[in-house]
Amino acid sequence: MLDPSLRQRLQQTKNITVFTGAGISAESGIPTFRERFTGLWANTDPQEVATPEAFRADPQRVWDWHVHLAGTVRRAAPNAGHRAIARLQEAVGRVTVITQNIDDLHHAAGSRDVLELHGNLFRLAPFVDEEALFAGERGPLICHLCGGYALRDDCDPYAGREDLACLRLEAGPVPRCPACGALLRPDIVWFGEPLDPHVLGAAFEAADACDALICVGSSLEVEPAASIPYRAIRRGAVVIEINPAPTSLTEHADAGIQGNASAVLPELFREVWG
């Protein structure tokens, strides 16, 4: 699968970063985003369900769309690709997984060091309505429980963590923070929103420190995530891409392996680390 000199370089690595996108979870039954007929964005305009403006305009519609997606994700289990990445921890000193996925399957497979660039579908967060804040419609009172801008000025001081923790992404009305009444939303990054600076900073550090980066199943069309493999290339790390279709990275990588993650990853790791 690899030429012998590349195999040898990989065998000497002590610090590997694995960068993943929706393609690694495709064989677990979770649709990708941009594939022509089957991608989530082939049938739905992301502006209507995956932006803060969409949630502001119609919170229930956006909530229901994510509940439906969560149904698919809950039924999914890690595949041989996720499991191979988790096993890599035993063969190589340090493995950091940087994922754009919100499905939690790397954790489920046993990967320990996972940076979720775009958040996690199963965590809830307060909806911060920036338009209302800028328009002066809301006071800047921070809720002690959800950490968002409190909707009510008389935020309930007795509401506790357990009241918030029992709320889940499930069918029904959009839940509200039990203390301040703010609408809750999935803790993921929608279009037009910034990434968590701590997570992004840690991802940049991982890409800057690794000896090799393996990029799996991403179209690399969304920034700033897409710039991460290029940081490793600039520093001279070995970069391998696994994807059935070529991307902008393919011609810059040391090897572009065309194929599905669940077949290629176990075979590649067996070839290099035995």
Contact stretch for ligand OAD (CB under 6 A) within 7-15, 64-72, 177-185, 213-221 = 213-221
What residue has token string 């357990």?
A: 162
**Residue closer to ligand OAD, measured from CB, 156 or 193:** 193
Q: Which two tokens stand for residue 158?
A: 């007795």
Sign of the dihedral defined by the CA atoms of residues 45, 50, 55, 59, in that order: positive
Nearest to 78 by CA among 16, 30, 122: 30
Yes or no: say if 138 and 167 are a contact pair by the CB < 8 Å rule.
no
Which residues lie closer than 8 Å to 152 by C-beta, 6 or more apart?
Answer: 180, 181
186 binds ligand OAD (CB under 6 A): no
67 binds ligand OAD (CB under 6 A): no
Contact stretch for ligand OAD (CB under 6 A) within 16-24, 52-60, 145-153, 176-184 = 16-24
DSSP secondary structure string, 94-132?
EEEEEE---S-HHHHHT-SSEEETTEEEEEEEE---HHH
Q: Which of 10, 21, 116, 212 binds ligand OAD (CB under 6 A)?
A: 21
Nearest to 21 by CA among 30, 10, 8, 12: 30
Contact stretch for ligand OAD (CB under 6 A) within 21-29, 88-96, 173-181, 197-205 = 21-29
Number of residues that bind ligand OAD (CB under 6 A): 28
Active-site annotation holds for 66: no
32 binds ligand OAD (CB under 6 A): yes
257 binds ligand OAD (CB under 6 A): no
Contact residues toward ligand OAD (CB under 6 A) are 21-23, 26-27, 32-35, 39, 100, 102, 118, 188-189, 216-219, 221-222, 242-245, 247, 260-261
